[in-house]
Amino acid sequence: MAPDLSDIGAIRSPDALRRSLMDPTGSMLPLNRYVRAVTRDGKVITGRRLNEDTYTVQLIDTEERLVSLIKSDLREYAVLKTSAMPPYKEKLTSAELDDVVAYLRTLKGAR
């Protein structure tokens, strides 16, 4: 349920990648925010928002399924303010962060 990283090395700088690893919530793009929806019958759907307009929202749920919802059919709808990815600031050494950033920089998409 994460954003596609296949071309992240082509679109994000090393500093931006490092910031995202250390503080994912602070670096989260609005498009990648998670949402929580509750249907009228009480079903809770959580996922990564792909698209949203006045009347509908499309998301990828926790089982990687595309879900399209009509907002008027929902009892609750909220955009979550925290990233599902944990911060690695205290979990990885500086050298390990450098290694992860170096790997992510190699992901340039299809050539």
Q: Which residues contact 99 (CB under 8 A, 6 or more apart)?
A: none
Q: How many domains does the chain have?
A: 2
Are 41 and 23 members of one domain?
Answer: no
Domain region containing 17: 1-30+85-111
Are 26 and 44 members of one domain?
Answer: no
pLDDT at 85: 86
3-state DSSP percent of the chain in helix, strand and coil, to 5: 30, 30, 45
Q: Which residues contact 98 (CB under 8 A, 6 or more apart)?
A: none
Are 39 and 57 members of one domain?
Answer: yes
pLDDT at 111: 57
Query: 32-62, pLDDT tens digit by residue?
Result: 788 999 999 999 999 988 899 999 999 999 8
